[in-house]
Amino acid sequence: MNTVVTSKEDILKTSRELIRRQGWSSINIRSVAAACGVSVGTIYNYFDSKAALVCAVVESVWCEIFHRPEDSAVFRDTQACIRWIYERMEYGSKQYPGFFAMHSLGFMQEEKSDGKQRMQQTWRHILDGLCFVLKQDAGIRKDAFTEQFTAERFADVLFSMMLSALLREDYAPAAVLEIVRRTLY
């Protein structure tokens, strides 16, 4: 790739392409600069370290994987939302092999606290989205949630199942959808 890039978003896009072609180990200041057709100093203008670059790339991958769908109906139907989440997880797994395992395990070390914080923010965003959908879904029985069994608690269960599916690389949501149907409808 010999395109000269000069914006942070161009650097992140080129980094994602580099990962797709060569894997995560290819991400460092020099290789990204070479792929962008710019000097190492140009990359340092946007990222003060390799860790900062990697964290930004990880965040941009999360954003690519879980970008808002064009069909907003996904956020009004719990089952459609779950199918969409699992489709996006499968997409992420294919586009960025090993990303979910690398990200969840790699950022658990203390020196990677910024990456861990970004991962937790992304997870919180997904969890909040699940809560929103559960509360907006007109098809859910009116008595499905109680003081003890809230939409937030059920969203936690769904999110835990999603994380488990990520680790198992199981992107078939049939069992989760069955649990949702039996519990809520």
Average pLDDT over residues 163-183: 94
For residue 3, being part of any structural domain is answered with: no
User: Can you read off the two tokens belonging to residue 130?
Assistant: 């699940």
**Are 29 and 40 contacting, i.e. CB atoms less than 8 angstroms apart?**
yes
Residues 26-36 have pLDDT tens digits of 899 999 999 99
Domain total of the chain: 2
Task: Please say which residue of 16, 36, 61 terminates a domain.
Answer: 61
For residue 52, being part of any structural domain is answered with: yes
**How far is it, in rounded angstroms, from Cα 51 to Cα 175?**
38
**How far is it, in rounded angstroms, from Cα 11 to Cα 7?**
6
* Arithmetic mean of pLDDT over the chain: 88
Closest by CA to 134, choosing from 148, 153, 161, is 153
Tell me the pTM. Answer: 0.83
Q: What angle do CA 167, 175, 76 make, to 5 degrees?
A: 95
Residues 95-125 have pLDDT tens digits of 998 887 765 555 444 445 666 676 777 788 8
For residue 113, being part of any structural domain is answered with: yes
Range of the domain at 22: 8-61
**How far is it, in rounded angstroms, from Cα 135 to Cα 150?**
10
Task: Note whether 72 and 33 are same-domain residues.
Answer: no
For residue 24, being part of any structural domain is answered with: yes
| Max CA distance (Å), the chain | 61
For residue 1, being part of any structural domain is answered with: no
| Angstrom distances, CA of residue 144 to CA of 82, 135, 167 | 18, 11, 29
